[in-house]
A and B are shown apart, each in its own frame.
Chain A
Amino acid sequence: MFNLPETHFNFGGDEYIYAEISRDMRIESNFKAIAVTEELRKREIPGVIDIVSSNASYLVRYNPDIVSARDLLDYLKEIDLTKSNPEKLNLSVRIVEIPAWYDDPVSREYSMRFKSRHPAPDLTDFEYVMKVNGFTDKESFIKSHSETPYLITMVGFLPGTGWHFPLGLQPNGIIQAPKYNSPRTETPERGIGIGGAFNVIYPVNGPGSYQLIGRSAIPLVDKTNPLEETSFLARPGDIWKYRPVKESEYNEIESSVRAGTYHNKVKGIDLSPLEYVQKGKKYIDELMEDF
């Protein structure tokens, strides 16, 4: 079993139950959130409206006119206890390549524009993230950030925003950054941000409080077809791998995306939380070997 504390349950008004697996972020908490929410989804529980797997927690929205709040709580507690065994959990997920232009001029421009909300107003966000993580060389930062595969641990904020958390690293090896003191009112579309130990890619221009370190060349939401579940690139349990690209390739990818000729580099895999817990980085290296 995962080595995790007992899940804390809370009612959120009359329509939500919030389950906090751990207060701190651990990959095991996320695997458990995925396991429990998959089980809940499979059961099609009458009265349950929304099921959201989050970084180290999950959220259920229900209609109390159909299912009693207290009975549902008891039911969730039981599933939380009995259906989170990593040995039985096998995730059919995808590895997705994200071509990224690090330290691009648009991210630089946005980070200077919102200087007054920033903990270090004299630096760009990219320089700041390098500095607080002890990097002095841009290329070694890019190498370090892009060679780590990331697990999609939560989707939300604005539609299709994927939180991702590094796989196979010890907490002290994870690139981290403080969030803005007060959120930016604007963020470039496809901007890559770091806040705490998480990375996000912002799907559209909107508010944000993570440090901007670059931009993805590929979109997070496919708007060419009627919007449906599969229009969103970010899916919990998927692995994202950054590939640094320069300006010219970034522009080429952008225009082939616009022309509808770009195909994401994607590979389907089976991800075993148990093997990850047992073997750590070695297991991730095996998974990534021929990607």
Chain B
Amino acid sequence: MIEIKEPGLWTTVQDMGRVGKYHLGVPPSGAADKYSFIIGNLLVGNPAEFASLEMTLLGGEFEFHRNLIIALTGAPMEAYLNHQRLSFWETHQVKEGDILTIKACQQGVKSYLSISGGIKVQDVLGSKSTYELSQIGGFDGRKLAVGDRIQINEPLPGASKQVGKSAPLEFVPTFNDFQELRVTMGLSGYLLSDQGLKTFLNSEWIVSHESNRVAYRYTGPRVSFTEQYPPFGAGTSFSNVVDFAYPIGSIMFTNEEELIVLHNDAMTGGGFVTIGTVISQDLDLISQSRPLSKCHFITVTIDQAIQARAERKKRMETLVGLIKR
């Protein structure tokens, strides 16, 4: 069991997400940065999908009530085990009574505390991930609070052999204040004017403070719509379309000045002009982008998107070979 002494800024239980429930309006949720999340699980000898704690900007303080094998991955927060500095991207043994203190990060946003055996909470609609808007899953459907006691499954037999292993440096992501996000264009992109499209692709976009697991908001130049009269049923604004189910990662303009990218806790449908979709692995980058950092959108074809996915998969397999028990 882990006792929450300080919950940090926004700490939730997450796994790889909830699938097969989108038609009910239930978004996938799940780890915001899957790359860091998966490596955390690999380090402690877990399958990729076991539930971990996702921390945001500021970690918190945790007391271990039993001996466990843990790893920290993601945004480099300053971490201490009983006042001793604790490294990220490495497997550690912790003992009953140990206190883990995780302070703020200067780069990135999301960090993961992975524990051998995984966090023990009920599956809701097939997943342990927290979806806060509807209070579904995770620990009581909410972010953690002082005094919460989180149950941990029995560590995987042999997990102690993982202690001291680490992810080689070339597998540790860098957390930059500028990102290139790959996008497949389409959806209702025909409602953006040619000039609007050029503006979208040629401009730098700045992450706004109102960004979270639901959606990232960006500010930038003003774009223009084609100003076709909206189709029947959609409403009266040039940014309205007949409401449809949004892909996770879709890029929408609610008006000419507000760009939104939907993330894992998205509203699953709506009626705003949506011009393309960020490829799945670049959602990890988005979740690590801090307010006021910048990004640039670049278009890719479906074949390039699949190629990028295959490359990442191969990389992950290499890493599994290196740190597996």
Contact = CB atoms under 8 A, between A and B. Distances in A.
Interface of A: 10-16, 18, 20, 22-26, 37, 49-59, 61, 64-65, 69-70, 154-161, 163, 165, 171, 176-179, 181-183, 195-198, 204, 206-207, 221, 226-229, 232, 236
Closest 9 CB pairs between A and B?
Answer: A25-B233, A156-B269, A12-B247, A10-B186, A16-B247, A13-B277, A24-B231, A196-B235, A12-B277
Given A14-B279, A69-B306, A157-B267, A24 B232 contact: yes
Given A24-B232, A69-B306, A159-B136, A57 B244 contact: yes
B221 to A, nearest CB: 19
B242 A25 contact: yes
A236 B23 CA distance: 9
B242 A55 contact: yes
Given A15-B248, A18-B187, A59-B245, 5 more contacts: A13-B184, A55-B244, A56-B244, A155-B24, A206-B133
B243 A154 contact: yes
Interface stretch (B56-64, B149-157, B167-175, B249-257): B249-257
B200 to A, nearest CB: 16
A187 B6 CA distance: 32
B134 interface: yes
A20 B124 CA distance: 31
A24 B233 contact: yes
B67 interface: no
A58 B250 CA distance: 15
23 contacts: A12-B277, A13-B248, A13-B277, A14-B279, A16-B248, A16-B277, A25-B231, A25-B233, A52-B22, A55-B243, A56-B233, A61-B19, A61-B247, A65-B309, A70-B302, A154-B245, A155-B23, A160-B24, A160-B25, A163-B243, A165-B233, A179-B271, A232-B25
A25 B232 CA distance: 6
Contacts of B184: 11-14
A181 B267 CA distance: 18
Interface residues of B, number: 53
A180 to B, nearest CB: 10
Given A12-B187, A69-B302, A156 B240 contact: no
Contacts of B254: 182-183
Contacts of A161: 25
B242 A159 contact: no
Contacts, number: 187
Interface centre among B19, B23, B234, B279 (most CB of A within 10 A): B23
Contact of A23 (B20, B23, B242): B242
A197 B232 contact: yes
B176 interface: no
A13 B232 contact: no
Nearest to B131: A159
Nearest to A229: B24
Contact of B244 (A13, A18, A24, A197): A18
Given A57-B245, A59-B22, A64 B309 contact: yes
B241 interface: yes
A24 B230 CA distance: 8
Contacts of A155: 23-25
A56 B242 contact: yes
A267 to B, nearest CB: 22
B154 to A, nearest CB: 24
